[in-house]
Structure 1
Amino acid sequence: MIILWLIFTTAHGATSYNKDRSVLGGSMLFWGMLLGSIPNLLIAAGLVFLSSSLELTAGRLTRVGYVLMLIGLVVPAVIDLAIQALGAPFFVPVVGIGLIVTAIGIRHNPRIGRLSRYLLLVIGLILLLAFMWALVPSEVTDPMGGYRIYGGLAHFGVGTGWVLFGISVLRSLAPGDRY
């Protein structure tokens, strides 16, 4: 997610005027499609793969958060692949709320460490903050590099959070649970 955001930002250009085919022959639309789909699908696959090890479906609150996370990750990824561009961030709050609800739901889960729970909470809060930033009119945010601030939060910050979460989860799993 982090690398794709950097490439997308480079292809997007410093203003709203896109630099066509400036990065490895791909346009801003191509890199946006990859940014909106590949990381989301990989994260969703990881969450599905580890759900039983982490007991992410134990308890009603945790299940609700887990389902919201998966919906918020998979649906926009499929849409971005279908339109072949980065779509609007309509599902960002769905993922953010899902992460926060999941973090609250797993607070008594001995399989998930405190750091992992806090990371889920922080990622969710960053996504909600990014979505609130996206709601500010572009006339206000453009002079401040609005899309870069949104992307810095929603892609760079969240991507860093997911990497840290993955490391924290792998460190907390027993060696036999890692596969």
Structure 2
Amino acid sequence: MTLIVGGLLMVPMWVRFTTLHGPTSFNENRHWLGGSSIFWGGMMGFASLLIVIGVYGHRALLEAGGRSARIGFWLVLAGLGIPALADIALRAAVPPFLMPLAATGLILLAAAHRHDPALPMTCRVALLITGLLLSAAFLMNLVPLETLDRFQWYRLYGILSNVLFGLGWVVFGASLAWKQQAVRSQERSGLRAVPPVSLDDA
């Protein structure tokens, strides 16, 4: 549930931030409720932190894919968790220096669990896509700003790294919750199907 809440929260928080900041690298620095665009950029860290907490809550499942899964798991926690805490502490969105770390971790997790029946196919695809989204968003930073600003790149960057990224975690969390609910229902059905033991049968 934490993953779903964090992913959903990411979308409106990014919309609020980008309307205050503007669509290009130039910060128009509008204000809302007394907070600047820089402040609201930092507040997006709370959504990221919820995602990190949700990922950690599924540690046993995600690390079960072997050594590469464990490496990927901790790369994701570090790549998402450290910037989230920095955003909140500084009340400003920090540069995406650790984005490649999170992207690599997500792709490693997807690859490590590619044949794992315990993790639904939808979850595996969501991990891969979110990793690719972060990779694409980070690569955009390598293009000169004067070129990117012609295409309102800051808004496109946010759609990749915040909106679609957040929705990817919603899909992951919802799919996993549905799988776990289905397993519990099957277990309850199996228990009800077992006939009670009678003393006369002993």
TM over 0.5, shorter chain: yes
How far apart are 1:40 and its partner, in Å?
A: 1.6
The alignment status of 1:41 with 2:49, answered yes or no, reads yes
CA distance in 1, matches of 2:23, 2:130: 27
Q: 2:21 aligns with which of 8, 12, 34?
A: 12
CA distance in 1, matches of 2:39, 2:176: 32
The one-letter amino acid paired with 2:53 is A
The alignment status of 1:144 with 2:151, answered yes or no, reads yes
Higher mean alpha-carbon deviation, 141-150 vs 167-176, is at: 167-176
Q: Which residue of 2 aligns with 1:95?
A: 102
CA distance in 1, matches of 2:101, 2:46: 18
CA distance in 2, matches of 1:17, 1:119: 32
Q: Which residue of 2 aligns with 1:57?
A: 63
How far apart are 1:158 and its partner, in Å?
A: 0.7
Moved over 4 A (4+): none
CA distance in 2, matches of 1:28, 1:175: 45
Q: 2:132 aligns with which of 111, 125, 129?
A: 125
TM-score by length of 1: 0.90
User: 1:29-79: per-residue Cα shift (whole Å, max 9, x none)?
Assistant: 1110011x1122101100111222xx2112101101000000001111122
The alignment's C-alpha RMSD in Å is 1.5
CA distance in 1, matches of 2:184, 2:16: 36
Contact 2:69 2:113 in 1 (8 A): yes
Q: Which residue of 2 aligns with 1:25?
A: 34
Contact 2:23 2:153 in 1 (8 A): no
CA distance in 2, matches of 1:17, 1:63: 39
The one-letter amino acid paired with 1:4 is M
CA distance in 2, matches of 1:13, 1:146: 10
Contact 2:100 2:134 in 1 (8 A): yes
How far apart are 1:14 and its partner, in Å?
A: 4.5
Structure with the greater alpha carbon radius of gyration: 2
Q: Which residue of 1 aligns with 2:3?
A: none
The alignment status of 1:156 with 2:163, answered yes or no, reads yes
CA distance in 1, matches of 2:122, 2:23: 36
CA distance in 2, matches of 1:48, 1:159: 16
How far apart are 1:109 and its partner, in Å?
A: 2.1
CA distance in 1, matches of 2:114, 2:23: 42
How far apart are 1:153 and its partner, in Å?
A: 0.7
CA distance in 2, matches of 1:72, 1:121: 15
How far apart are 1:17 and its partner, in Å?
A: 4.0
